[in-house]
Amino acid sequence: MYNHGLFMIRRYIFIALSVIIFSLSTPLFANTVILRKLVVHNTPHQLSATFYLSSSTQYRTFSLHTPNRFIVDLKNVKTVQQLHFPDAAKSILNGFRYATHRDGVFRMVFGLNSSIKPKTRVLSIDSHHQVRLQIIFPKTRHASLPLLPPPVREKIHIKKAIINDADFDQDNKNQRRIIIVIDPGHGGKDPGAAGINGTKEKNIVLSISEILQRDINRQPGYHAELTRTSDYYLTLRQRLAIARQDKADMFVAIHADKWRNTQANGFSVFALSQRGATSEAARWLARRENKSELMGGVQLQDQSHLLKSVLINLSQSATIRDSLEIGTNVLRCVKPIAHLHHNTVEQAAFVVLKSPDIPSLLIETGFLSNPREEYKLSNLEFQHQLAGAIMQGIYQYFSKYPPRGTWVNYWRKHHAHS
Ligand SMILES: [Zn+2]
């Protein structure tokens, strides 16, 4: 319930309400207002949807995210005919649905392909005495990307069926769960990268992290925690402290960054490097991500000291080896559903990966600087596929190398050969 509460709060802060009463000259709500038709008009620069109403009424509009939706509520309105979704709208909208609720509010929900900001305006009454309410969906340069085909689903074989919840309840008396701490990058005053259509990294990665958490929590013997559960700022060190506090067996930071080249695309996994970065891009990215620390008021000098301490901490070798192994599993599971930017786990001096004894990965889910990828990452179904594949990679690793004292380890010893 606690998590659910926060979840709700997060949803509601996105809601920008606008309530306007237009035309006070006619008595409001005296009669049911009829929605006579909805006319959709497509031009190179915008898509408009115009509601033709028999008389004036109250309305409100607001946006919701993940997935992106635009909602129009009309008070005391009924429709007399079925409304159709025109093909011409597909470049901007992925559909709409509507219903009249018991309290007389007619609600129409427009599914948006990207996070655009529709505008609402009231047009003058036409020659048929109809009141017209118009929604304008602006077209940005990239908003008219064709709809992506559904990603290919490939079966990834994991022997999930052999462990079930009943087994877990039976023998978990003295065994602990494997703890995975998921760190949605950025947050609050640090939005992270931004896509050309306005998608913010901090929102995308929180959504993917929440799905990943639910996926992991469904596995018997596993428990996942988030470092942040809504839109607020955490320093990199606070994130590390949470992983330590939760006694994490693994830490995974989720990001979606940008690159100078808008063509750059694909999924990548990073582990800590004790020496140099494995590529110039990895070095550049680590520098970028480490900057988040500066926003918390840490001095540059302190920052370089932190980086130095990363480089000299030799006790991390074993942890890095484990991180690389988990990362390899993740890449293998993600490969069937997403393009890999790099086929192997890359390494660089990410501050957020510097826990000396907790295997840690930083996952770049894709590039928000690539409009096609921005669009894909905003898609809830793709987010689910990605989270599912990441979960499977982690699961495969821990099935093979379960930490001591965990139920998965106990189960493996007692059931593996029976
Ligand atoms: Zn990031």
Q: ipTM for the complex?
A: 0.98
Domain boundaries, position 340 = 165-415
Q: Which of 103, 138, 173 is the last residue of a domain?
A: 138
- What separation in Å is there between the alpha carbon of 258 and the centre of ligand 1? 8
Residues 298 and 369 in one domain: yes
Residues 65 and 198 in one domain: no
- Residue 33's pLDDT is 86
- Identify whether 7 is part of a domain: no
Residues 98 and 182 in one domain: no
- What separation in Å is there between the alpha carbon of 85 and the centre of ligand 1? 37
Residue 66 pLDDT greater than 60, yes or no? yes
- Identify whether 148 is part of a domain: no
Residue 13 pLDDT greater than 70, yes or no? no
- What separation in Å is there between the alpha carbon of 364 and the centre of ligand 1? 8
- What separation in Å is there between the alpha carbon of 257 and the centre of ligand 1? 5
- Identify whether 154 is part of a domain: no
- What separation in Å is there between the alpha carbon of 192 and the centre of ligand 1? 5
- What separation in Å is there between the alpha carbon of 191 and the centre of ligand 1? 9
CATH number for position 69: 2.60.40.3500
Residues 132 and 178 in one domain: no
- Identify whether 143 is part of a domain: no
What are 239-295's pLDDT values in tens digits? 988 998 999 999 999 999 888 788 888 999 999 887 766 777 777 778 877 776 554
- What separation in Å is there between the alpha carbon of 115 and the centre of ligand 1? 19
- What separation in Å is there between the alpha carbon of 187 and the centre of ligand 1? 10
Q: 22-26, 76-80, 163-167: lowest mean pLDDT where?
A: 22-26
Residues 189 and 126 in one domain: no
- Average pLDDT of the segment spanning 67-88: 83
Which of the residue ranges 28-42, 89-103, 125-139, 330-344 has the most confident prediction, judged by mean pLDDT?
A: 330-344
- What separation in Å is there between the alpha carbon of 232 and the centre of ligand 1? 14
- Identify whether 264 is part of a domain: yes
- Residue 165's pLDDT is 54
- Identify whether 8 is part of a domain: no
- Which residues on neighbouring strands pair with residue 180, listed in sequence order? 224, 250
Residues 94 and 213 in one domain: no
Angle between helices 317-334 and 380-400 (to 10 degrees): 130
Residues 124 and 197 in one domain: no
What are 16-44's pLDDT values in tens digits? 343 443 333 333 444 788 888 888 887 77
What are 345-366's pLDDT values in tens digits? 999 888 888 877 889 999 999 9
CATH number for position 377: 3.40.630.40
Residues 94 and 133 in one domain: yes
- Residue 417's pLDDT is 52
Cα–Cα distance measured from residue 102 to residue 340, given in angstroms and rounded to the nearest whole number: 49
Residues 303 and 384 in one domain: yes
* Number of domains the chain contains: 2
What are 369-418's pLDDT values in tens digits? 999 999 999 999 999 999 999 999 999 999 999 999 898 888 887 765 54
- What separation in Å is there between the alpha carbon of 361 and the centre of ligand 1? 13
- What separation in Å is there between the alpha carbon of 193 and the centre of ligand 1? 6
Q: Structure tokens of 382? A: 């793709």
What are 314-347's pLDDT values in tens digits? 457 788 899 999 999 999 999 999 999 989 999 9
- What separation in Å is there between the alpha carbon of 254 and the centre of ligand 1? 8
Percentage of residues of the chain with pLDDT beyond 70:
76
Q: Structure tokens of 340? A: 């890999």
- Residue 24's pLDDT is 34
- Identify whether 254 is part of a domain: yes
- Residue 339's pLDDT is 94
Residues 253 and 372 in one domain: yes
- Identify whether 23 is part of a domain: yes
Question: Which residues neighbour ligand 1 (ion) by CB within 5 Å?
Answer: 185, 192, 255, 257
- What separation in Å is there between the alpha carbon of 255 and the centre of ligand 1? 4
Q: Which of 121, 138, 155 is the last residue of a domain?
A: 138
- What separation in Å is there between the alpha carbon of 367 and the centre of ligand 1? 10
Q: What is the CA radius of gyration of the chain?
A: 25
For residue 329, give every residue at least 6 positions away whose Cβ sits within 8 Å of its Cβ, in sequence order, or none.
393, 394, 396, 397
Residues 180 and 302 in one domain: yes
Residues 264 and 186 in one domain: yes
